[in-house]
Amino acid sequence: MKLIKRHVEKPSYKDLKDRELVKYFRRNNDESAFNELMNRHQQKIYSYIYSMVMNPEIANDLFQTTFTKVITKMDDTYNEQGKWIAWVMRIAHNATIDYLRKQKRYVDVSGWSDEDSSTDYFDRMEDDSNVDADEQIVESELRSSLMKHIAKLPEEQRSVVLLRHYYEMPFKEIAELTDVSINT
């Protein structure tokens, strides 16, 4: 009797949903599946952390801490019924808040500068080339002013503003992430 070996092709990870990638990683310790998840969401997670601490070195450290916790806690605390990115954002949020509490300070407003930063949400907004130069200058000044005002908010309020307007998270998810009532 001759045994036939089946060759099972790995799926294209780019075509899989987060939930499916998590299953591949959890069941098979599939590093490629985890890398795809990370590539999809690293900019969003890093930008959130950076917007809270306004320091690239600290943001990198907190980003690494976040993904170390994600890897070590995925089997224990991740519930497959929930969204993976919401779970990771909660870990990032908690790591960032823990850091800020240890520092017992708010973000320095001078950190919100007009420097070219690829992680700044407002710098990554779509450029409308049909807008004339005057409108672009006004829009740039408005963005700069807005970011300075957001930076002055207490960390909890700043976090909610960024999650709602930058990540377009529903209020229900923000309430769960920040452990604050949705009515607050």
CA gyration radius, the chain: 20
pTM attached to this predicted model: 0.61
* CA-wise closest residue to 42 among 22, 63, 28, 57: 63
> How many whole angstroms separate alpha carbon 124 and alpha carbon 69?
28
- Most confident segment among 47-56, 105-114, 120-129, 153-162: 47-56
CB 120 within 8 A of CB 166: no
The CATH number of 16-107+132-178 is 1.10.1740.10
CB 122 within 8 A of CB 147: yes
Q: What letter represents residue 155's amino acid?
A: E
**Domains in the chain: boundaries:** 16-107+132-178
Length of the chain: 184
Q: How much is the pLDDT for 108?
A: 45
Q: How much is the pLDDT for 65?
A: 96
Pick 168 or 20 by higher pLDDT. Answer: 20
Q: How much is the pLDDT for 36?
A: 94
For residue 91, pLDDT over 90 is answered with yes
Pick 126 or 180 by higher pLDDT. Answer: 180
H or E stretch including 109? none
